[in-house]
Amino acid sequence: MNELLPSAERIAARLKARGETLAVGESSTGGLVCAALLAVPGASAWFLGGAVVYTVKAREALAGITAADMAGMRGATEPYAALLAERLRARHGATWGLAETGATGPAGNRYGDPPGHSCLAVAGPRALAVTLRTGSADRQANMRAFAARALALLEEALE
């Protein structure tokens, strides 16, 4: 988590200076993005809430994404990351939404994506999406790499 802290601190400073807020949706990073952000003192001024969405049930219960919303869409894609970011943003009334969805490993996911594949998106005043491929099957290393990329993407949006 410590390696993520400098990025989290820059995000915190920018959000605080602007009076903006954030909600987060995570899949394969599993809570690591939220934990890095919330390690910054005073985070309650700008962090509203986060969802760790690991199942279809959680997708609906926590983010309000229904089967109809998913028509023509699957997990671990940029459009799904963008939808998750937007739904969490709207649900919390936040300025920004940040979301991640991917495959950490050691195996690939049920869609055929290899471990190390992650899609990340920011929703809000600027919308960004990116796909990352680490080439690694190391689960914990991928969680950290995906989380670092998620924070970097939000930093880009906040520039």
Binding site for a copy of itself (CB under 8 A): 1-2, 23-24, 26, 28-35, 37-39, 41, 43-44, 47-55, 57-58, 61-62, 91-93, 105-106, 139-140, 143
CB of 5 to a copy of itself, least distance (A): 8
Nearest to 103 by CA among 87, 82, 81: 81
Q: How far is the CB of 59 from a copy of itself (least distance, A)?
A: 8
Q: Which residues contact 22 (CB under 8 A, 6 or more apart)?
A: 11, 15, 37, 46, 47, 48, 94, 95, 96, 97, 98, 154
The DSSP call for residue 72 is T
Residue 108 CA to residue 115 CA, distance in Å, equals: 5
Peptide bond connecting 41 to the previous residue in cis, omega within 30 degrees of 0: no
Nearer to a copy of itself, 62 or 121 (CB): 62
Query: Residue 93 CB, nearest distance to a copy of itself (Å)?
Result: 6
